[in-house]
Structure formats: structure tokens, C-alpha cells
Amino acid sequence: MRNASLTAHAEARLTERCTLTPDRLKSLLDHGASIPVATQKGGRHAKRLVYSPADQTWLIIVQDGSNGGVLTVMPLEYLKHRLPVTAAQKRSARKRARSLETIRRSPSHCPEPNTSTGTTPGAVAPPASPSLEPSPPPSTPPASGWKISARYKAEGRQPLKTLPRTDARHGQPAHWATPGPIHVWFRERLLEAAIPFRAIQSISAQRKGEIHQADCLLEHLPMTQQEIEQCR
């Protein structure tokens, strides 16, 4: 999925319903701090759960998967009894938002750029200085794949299932928000493991020394119309 952008309607609803700024909401969406909880329009529109630390509340964001556009913003309370959101999903959204907020406030963190001016608050351009050192050659990503783990609900428990590793053609987690072979591969592994799509709580990708949230694998999961209806 492309980086988030807000429609005029979504920006107006955001201002009315919470204290999050448009830039802060886009940061939550673009940095993996949202949880996909439902799809509509044949899977093209995703309903995503985010947490606002300042408001201490959860919000539902309707986002277009084709261009990243945010269509509207609603407090979770507005959809009470109409949209099934689990306590685990709420905890995960809150944890991710707080982690992102901690990183943002750390002294070593660069302020987020102002999208209206294209500048970064407090940033001063360093003077240009020629370098006599040759540029290092671009690094080549390791060829080994990623170990995918899925946590899901089953009979009152939340077991963690480790799936086979991806291979080189599936690329890196940063690219998985765009539809590709990884989504077909992931669907096949879920079917093999008999994990219902709607039961999945969270997905992670691990490799030596690295771990990434990979909930974006659900956003473009190829599904039949019957499977889409079952996930609602």
C-alpha cells in the first residue's frame, strides 16, 4: 500500500473527533502502527484500528488500498456491536502507537517533516563538503528468507503458528504492502495450517537479528467472495 494521504472529508472528521494531527495519523499508518480489522468493496477498502495516545481512545480508519487515501475517520465507539474488534487487537494498536510515540520523542529522532512546506522543524542544512572517499558499494540483502509466524484465536486460546520460510522471490517485509507473490504464498500456507483467515490476530516476520510486524499480508490476501463474507 502507498503512503497514506487524507481526503478533505477525512481531515475534517479527524479534526472534529480527536486531537491527532493529519501528519501524526499518516505516521501511524505508514509506520505499521495500525491493525487491519475488516475489508470492504471486495477487499479494496481496509478498516484499520489505530490508537491515539493523546486522546486515550481507538479510531477506525477507512483506507483505500490502491492509493493509500484515507476516506474517513471514526471513533471505535461509533461502530460498537457492528465491527468485531478483539481486546488483543486493541492492545496491539495501543502498544504500537506508544512505541512510535516513544521513538518520536527520543533525542536522537529527527522531527517529522511538515508536509505542507516540505521542511523539517529545527533542521539546518549542513554545509556541503567534497569527499575524497569513494562511495561504498550498495549492500546486497541476504538471500535467506523470512520465518513467518501467525498468532490466531482458537477455542479461547491464542496459539502461535510458525509457517515455512519465504524465498528470495518474495522480497522484503517493507514491500509486502503491495500485492504480489507473497500474498498468494501466504494464503496457501494458511490453508495448509488450517488457520481461519478471520481468526488471525497478528503476523510477524523474523530473520536473524531482525523482526518485523507483517499484518499487511492480510490486506491483499486473495480471497473468494465467500471467504470475504466470512471475515465480516
pLDDT (tens digit per residue) in 142-174: 446 888 998 898 888 888 989 888 887 788 888
| Predicted structure pTM score | 0.48
**pLDDT exceeds 50 at position 141:** no
- What the block records as the C-alpha cell of 5 is 494521504
| 67 vs 51, higher pLDDT | 51
Helix 87-105, helix 22-30: angle, nearest 10? 110
Confidence of residue 130 (pLDDT cuts 50, 70, 90): very low
Half-sphere exposure of 52 (CA within 13 A, CB side): 24
Assess contact for 33 and 10: CB atoms under 8 A.
Answer: no
The DSSP secondary-structure symbol of 222 reads -
Q: Which distant-in-sequence residues (6+ apart) come within 8 Å of 18 by Cβ?
A: 52, 54, 55, 57, 59, 73, 75
